[in-house]
Amino acid sequence: MTAVPDIEFRAVTKRYGAVTAVSGIDLAIPPAAFVALLGPSGCGKTTCLRMIGGFEQPSEGQVLIRGRDMAGTPPYRRPVNMVFQQYALFPHLDVEENISYGLRQARPRLSPREISLKAGEALAMVQLAGYGRRKIHELSGGQQQRVALARALVNKPAVLLLDEPLAALDKKLRTDMQIELQNLQREIGITFVLVTHDQEEALSMSDFVCVMNGGRVVQIGQPSEIYDEPADLFVADFVGKTNLLSGKVAGLSGDLVDVALADGTVISARKRVPLSRGEAVSVSLRPESLSLSAPGGGGLKGIVRNRIFLGSTAEYAIEVQGIGSLLTKADHVTGRGNLFEPGEPVAIGFAAGAPLAFPHPKNNGTNQREDQHVKILS
Amino acid sequence: MSQGTNSGQVLTAGGQRSAGAEAAFSMRGRFLRKNLLTALLLAPATLWLVVFLVLPFVAIAVFSVGERAPEGGYQAAFTFAQYANLPARATAFWNTMMLAPVGALACLLVGYPVAYYLALRAPQRWRLILLALIVIPFWTSLLMRTYAWMYILGGRGIPALLAYIGIEDLRLINTPGAVLLGIVYGYLPLMILPIYVSLERLDRRLLEASADLGATPLSTFLGVTLRLSLPGVMTGFSLVMILLLGEYLIPTLLGGGKVFFIGNALVDLFLQSRNWPFGSAIAITLVLVSVVVLIIANRISTRLSGARRVDLI
């Protein structure tokens, strides 16, 4: 990429006393991209966002905005604006005063006419025209969200930072806002950096997802890449639902490994990192890559324990002897009563290439969730 | 006892109505009981206030339209002569009206930075200790502490020390400066605490949001911090000001009693010259002035901070 990245992290580390929140992050965010920083709480994603905003200073390394090193530049001199978690709107100002707050700080000063014109445009952009004189506490959560957006965007920042912007909204509103945010980003054409712990939100809105864990970037890629080709066990487990089956490497052939599962079944899986014979591995199988059929054919055999009917799809928890419980997902076709009943024996099949094998996390592994998962399965 | 019959009964129209009436009755009962409990809980405080605040106030109001008995005290009458006589004490009123706001302002100027430091800058684990240090002097009587200042500022105090290094003939005691110092010293906690509370409640992210929107630290302070702490400022200011309207101890001890305040006038009228009606008229006027001050302070802070309600303590 030849263009100067909007945001660049160069070997950025942030420590709070003895605690390292972010360690050695290198990251370049291209112009006009919608990027999500995704990870569990405490993974350092918010710290990264705050370092872009200037509320935290990196302990080591550099943060650059449009090629300029931001070291020592206070928040009020940075060409970025932030939508805060729970919005942080000024309670003593009305909607229009909130939105024009940034415009009134501009030097050289803008004329009052210019300010009210721009504030009006921003209000219209977030579909709140006519709400200018409302008090903040008179607005609903969704409206406050829009005011926060308008307040940030009216300053025409190089980059918009969003800190869990949808966390306080109910599900229906959240889906609407996801679409609205995506449209806004395309319309304005500036970079949006979104921090979220909600993998669905990250996958649905952004052009690029940057998955973080334990203060490091684990994987960067397009949403489909992250979902289909997770870099490691953590990403496979954190992004979307998956089944993790533990086993040992029984054979190697090119990109594929044969994994002997706990019950002796050998399945062929793709590998993302070099593995050696006899190594303990976890095999990730997405629920939707599993198919159920009446017993008799090949594949794993199990018994339906639970059925979760979701309308367009149905999920099944299948108990497999010697392996544990597997989650499968099947499309529901209206009118075809092909639902399996709890207690029914079934055969589980999967497409070749669907299973992905990852080495077991070492003891210094980054995530405890994996260990729990493995324990449940073994 | 099958459950079926029970639910069947409830479903009949008559049963439903009687159930509804019963519910309404028991609700009214609960309502009454709740009110009774509330009344019981409030009774001691109400009684106390009636006996020691309302009745004396009524007495003072009645006195103020009466006459001085020949041998002193009160004699029944209905006249506004006492109020008409108020200009006789104009100097005391004037001095008080100057002292109260100036003293409150001095407390504010000294107190705000302290409250700001405590709420926003002081390390968390020091905060309680520092707050305690501000309150602890309250445990000793103001009279004693003011006497202490008398000695510190008096001839054998600071002036004597300064004389050692060659600064002679400096008079500190019995000056307006000494009175102001005593007032700030005595009333500072009353100013600091409400401001501290309102700054402590301030959402720190609002300060970050302000900086994010391009505001320099100074404009953030003026536009957000100060604005949102105004309810605390107004509370502290009116609290100190109202107490200063009745203050007479500090001006007497540190000001040498040369300047007369309403407080002095009241003591004089009630205890020395025993002109109760005139003293009452002055007291009533003072109360009215206090109420006006409160209302104005409330208006200002409500308007400026955008708060819907201002808690005065």
DSSP code at position B102: H
Give the pair of three-digit tokens for residue A263: 């019950």
Q: Which of A204, A228, A252 is the last residue of a domain?
A: A228
Closest residue in chain A to residue B224, using alpha carbons only: A90
Test A102 with B213 for CB contact under 8 angstroms.
Answer: yes
* Nearest CB to B212 within list A82, A86, A135: A82
Q: How far apart are CA A219 and CA A370, in angstroms?
A: 17
Verify that A88 and A170 share a domain, yes or no. yes
Chain A CB contacts of B228 under 8 Å are 91-92
Verify that A372 and A325 share a domain, yes or no. yes
Here the CATH number for the domain that contains residue A203 is 3.40.50.300
Q: How far apart are CA A284 and CA A257, in angstroms?
A: 13
Terminal Cα-to-Cα distance of chain A (whole angstroms): 45
Distances (CA, A) of B274 to B75, B77, B285: 12, 17, 18
Task: Tell me which range, B25-34, B71-80, B224-233, is most confidently predicted by mean pLDDT.
Answer: B224-233
Q: How far apart are CA A263 and CA A246, in angstroms?
A: 10
Give the pair of three-digit tokens for residue B254: 């540190």
Q: How far apart are CA A69 and CA B215, in angstroms?
A: 21
* Residue A49 Cα, gap to closest chain B Cα (Å): 12
Share of chain A above pLDDT 90, in %: 65
Whether residue A25 is contained in a domain is answered as: yes
Test B214 with A102 for CB contact under 8 angstroms.
Answer: yes
pLDDT digits (tens, 9 = 90+) for B248-269: 888 888 888 777 888 888 888 8
* Nearest CB to B211 within list A74, A86, A106: A74
Test B211 with A92 for CB contact under 8 angstroms.
Answer: no
Whether residue A2 is contained in a domain is answered as: no
**B307 pLDDT higher than 60:** no
Give the pair of three-digit tokens for residue A47: 């710290």
Q: pLDDT confidence of A362, banded at 50, 70, 90?
A: low
Q: How far apart are CA B188 and CA A130, in angstroms?
A: 46
Q: Which of A228, A255, A280 is the last residue of a domain?
A: A228
Verify that A146 and A293 share a domain, yes or no. no
**A136 pLDDT higher than 70:** yes
* Nearest CB to A76 within list B211, B306, B308: B211
The alpha carbon of residue A374 and the mean position of all alpha carbons in its chain are separated, in whole angstroms, by: 23
* Nearest CB to A53 within list B212, B216, B224: B212
Chain A CB contacts of B221 under 8 Å are none
Whether residue A338 is contained in a domain is answered as: yes
Whether residue A198 is contained in a domain is answered as: yes
Test A90 with B305 for CB contact under 8 angstroms.
Answer: no
Regarding beta strands A300-309 and A7-16, do their DSSP bridges make them parallel or antiparallel, or are they unpaired? unpaired
Torsion from C-alpha of A262, A268, A270, A274, nearest 10 degrees: 70
Average pLDDT over residues A121-143: 92
Chain B CB contacts of A84 under 8 Å are 205, 208-209, 212
pLDDT at A375: 34
Find the helix or strand (DSSP H, E) in which A208 lies.
strand A208-213
pLDDT digits (tens, 9 = 90+) for B177-208: 898 999 999 999 999 999 999 999 999 999 99
**3-state DSSP assignment of residue A169:** coil
What's the domain range around A330? 242-377
Q: How many CB atoms lie within 10 A of CB B37?
A: 10
Whether residue A234 is contained in a domain is answered as: no
For residue A346, which phi and psi values (nearest 5 degrees)?
-140, 160
Query: Do the Cβ atoms of A117 and A103 come closer than 8 Å?
Result: no
Chain A CB contacts of B310 under 8 Å are none
**A258 pLDDT higher than 70:** yes
Q: pLDDT confidence of A73, banded at 50, 70, 90?
A: very high
Give the pair of three-digit tokens for residue A357: 């094998």
Q: How many CB atoms lie within 10 A of CB B35?
A: 10
Give the pair of three-digit tokens for residue A259: 């994994």
Find the helix or strand (DSSP H, E) in which A176 lies.
helix A171-188
Verify that A246 and A368 share a domain, yes or no. yes
Here the CATH number for the domain that contains residue A259 is 2.40.50.140
Average pLDDT over residues B66-88: 88
Q: How many domains does chain A have?
A: 2
Test B216 with A76 for CB contact under 8 angstroms.
Answer: yes
Chain A CB contacts of B224 under 8 Å are 90
pLDDT digits (tens, 9 = 90+) for B2-56: 444 444 344 444 444 555 566 666 777 777 788 888 889 999 999 999 999 999 9
Verify that A37 and A124 share a domain, yes or no. yes
The alpha carbon of residue A129 and the mean position of all alpha carbons in its chain are separated, in whole angstroms, by: 32
pLDDT at B41: 92
Closest residue in chain B to residue A80, using alpha carbons only: B212
Whether residue A292 is contained in a domain is answered as: yes
Test A93 with B306 for CB contact under 8 angstroms.
Answer: yes
Query: Do the Cβ atoms of B243 and B313 come closer than 8 Å?
Result: no
Whether residue A1 is contained in a domain is answered as: no
pLDDT at A226: 94
pLDDT digits (tens, 9 = 90+) for B85-109: 889 888 888 888 888 999 999 999 9
Q: Which of A203, A228, A253 is the last residue of a domain?
A: A228
Question: Which residues face B74 on adjacent strands?
Answer: B68
Write down the residue that tokens 């600064």 correspond to. Answer: B167
Distances (CA, A) of B112 to B103, B133, B195, B297: 14, 16, 7, 17
* Nearest CB to B213 within list A54, A85, A155: A155
If phi > 0 it is left, if psi is from -120 to 50 it is alpha, else beta; for residue A282 that is beta
Residues of A near B (Cβ–Cβ under 8 Å) read: 53-55, 74-77, 80-82, 84-86, 88-93, 101-102, 105-106, 135, 137, 151-152, 155
Q: pLDDT confidence of A225, banded at 50, 70, 90?
A: very high
Give the pair of three-digit tokens for residue A95: 């909607």
The alpha carbon of residue B77 and the mean position of all alpha carbons in its chain are separated, in whole angstroms, by: 34
Test B205 with A88 for CB contact under 8 angstroms.
Answer: yes
Q: How far apart are CA A377 and CA A233, in angstroms?
A: 15
pLDDT at A364: 42
Candidates A76, A85, A98, A133, partner chain B, best to mutate (most B CBs within 10 A) = A76
pLDDT at B264: 85
Verify that A105 and A171 share a domain, yes or no. yes
Give the pair of three-digit tokens for residue A260: 């002997």
Test A92 with B212 for CB contact under 8 angstroms.
Answer: no
* Nearest CB to B306 within list A74, A92, A106: A92
Verify that A214 and A254 share a domain, yes or no. no
- Beta-carbon contacts of B107 under 8 Å, excluding residues fewer than 6 positions away, are B183, B184, B187, B188, B190, B191, B236, B237, B240
Burial category of A294 from C-beta neighbours within 10 Å (exposed 0-12, middle 13-18, buried 19 and up): exposed
Torsion from C-alpha of B251, B252, B255, B259, nearest 10 degrees: 80
Q: How far apart are CA A182 and CA A176, in angstroms?
A: 10
pLDDT at B23: 62
Burial category of B4 from C-beta neighbours within 10 Å (exposed 0-12, middle 13-18, buried 19 and up): exposed
Closest CA to A122 of A97, A85, A147: A147
If phi > 0 it is left, if psi is from -120 to 50 it is alpha, else beta; for residue A297 that is beta
Closest CA to A163 of A80, A104, A219: A80
Distances (CA, A) of A288 to A228, A243, A284, A295, A331: 12, 10, 12, 19, 9
Chain A CB contacts of B307 under 8 Å are 91-92
Torsion from C-alpha of A349, A351, A354, A355, nearest 10 degrees: 40
Q: At what angle do helices B176-201 and B142-153 cross, to 10 degrees?
A: 130
Q: What pTM was computed for the model? A: 0.80
Query: Do the Cβ atoms of A201 and A189 come closer than 8 Å?
Result: no
**A13 pLDDT higher than 90:** yes
Neighbour-count burial for A249-288, b at 16+ CB within 10 Å, e otherwise: beeeeeebbbbbbbeebebbbbbbeebeeebebbbbbbbb
pLDDT at B12: 43
Whether residue A235 is contained in a domain is answered as: no
pLDDT at A230: 93
Work out the mean pLDDT of chain B and round it to a whole number.
Answer: 85
Chain B CB contacts of A110 under 8 Å are none
pLDDT at A217: 94
* Residue B104 Cα, gap to closest chain A Cα (Å): 25
Neighbour-count burial for B270-292, b at 16+ CB within 10 Å, e otherwise: beeeebbbbbbbbbbbbbebbee
Chain B CB contacts of A155 under 8 Å are 213-214
For residue A159, which phi and psi values (nearest 5 degrees)?
-140, 135
Q: How far apart are CA A46 and CA A162, in angstroms?
A: 10
pLDDT at A334: 64
pLDDT at B28: 74
Verify that A220 and A315 share a domain, yes or no. no
ipTM of the complex model = 0.84
* Residue A88 Cα, gap to closest chain B Cα (Å): 5
Residues of B near A (Cβ–Cβ under 8 Å) read: 203, 205-206, 208-216, 219, 223-224, 227-228, 304-308
Give the pair of three-digit tokens for residue B188: 């500072």
pLDDT digits (tens, 9 = 90+) for A299-329: 788 999 998 888 888 899 999 988 889 999 8
For residue A75, which phi and psi values (nearest 5 degrees)?
-50, -40
Average pLDDT over residues A241-256: 89
Torsion from C-alpha of A98, A100, A101, A105, nearest 10 degrees: 180
Q: How many CA atoms lie within 13 A of B267 on its CB side?
A: 12
